[in-house]
Amino acid sequence: MVIRSLSLQPPFTTKDGSTIRSLLDLANAPVQNQSLAEATLPASSATERHYHRLSEEFYFILEGSAEMEIDGTTQTVNPGDAILIPPGAWHQITASKEAPVRLLCCCAPPYSHEDTFFS
């Protein structure tokens, strides 16, 4: 059995500029097909627009609101919203001016810096 407490996971910055705490991934668990992390963005900040060739992502908004852009389509997202980001889709999330945004990010296959592309 593998259990990881969020409060014990060290934060780090991904290639897209978000700060994440990895809950279950290739570095801390015997993960094979997916990863789970908590990501935060300060108010008014955004990830760098990017895509993943291999990974399909789910974002689940926990706190705050943001503008989510996927392949040129933008929509406001709020707590309780789940977002599908297909492999190869350009995407960026921008926190509102009022508060930071906190979300869960699930990737399959597991997140890797090598699968993050910018142009």
pLDDT, tens digit, for every residue of 59-108? 999 999 999 999 999 999 999 999 999 999 999 999 999 999 999 999 99
Q: How are the residues of the chain apportioned to helix, strand and coil, as percentages rounded to the nearest 5?
A: 5, 45, 50
In a domain, 47, yes or no: yes
Residue 94 burial (C-beta neighbours within 10 Å; 0-12, 13-18, 19+): middle
In a domain, 65, yes or no: yes
In a domain, 106, yes or no: no
**Percent of the chain predicted with pLDDT > 90:** 89
CB-CB contact of 15 with 9 (8 Å): no
CB-CB contact of 64 with 96 (8 Å): yes
In the structure encoding, which two tokens stand for residue 17, read together?
């500029």
In a domain, 51, yes or no: yes
Q: Work out the number of other CB atoms within 10 angstroms of the CB of residue 98.
A: 9
Site of tokens 């900040």: 45
In this prediction, residue 32 carries a pLDDT of 93
In a domain, 108, yes or no: no
In a domain, 60, yes or no: yes
In this prediction, residue 89 carries a pLDDT of 98
In a domain, 13, yes or no: no
In a domain, 10, yes or no: no
In this prediction, residue 74 carries a pLDDT of 98
- Which CATH number belongs to the domain containing residue 70 in this structure? 2.60.120.10
In this prediction, residue 9 carries a pLDDT of 94
Number of domains in the chain: 1
Q: Which domain holds residue 35?
A: 24-101
Rounded average pLDDT over 4-9: 94
Site of tokens 């309780």: 80
**Percent of the chain predicted with pLDDT > 70:** 100
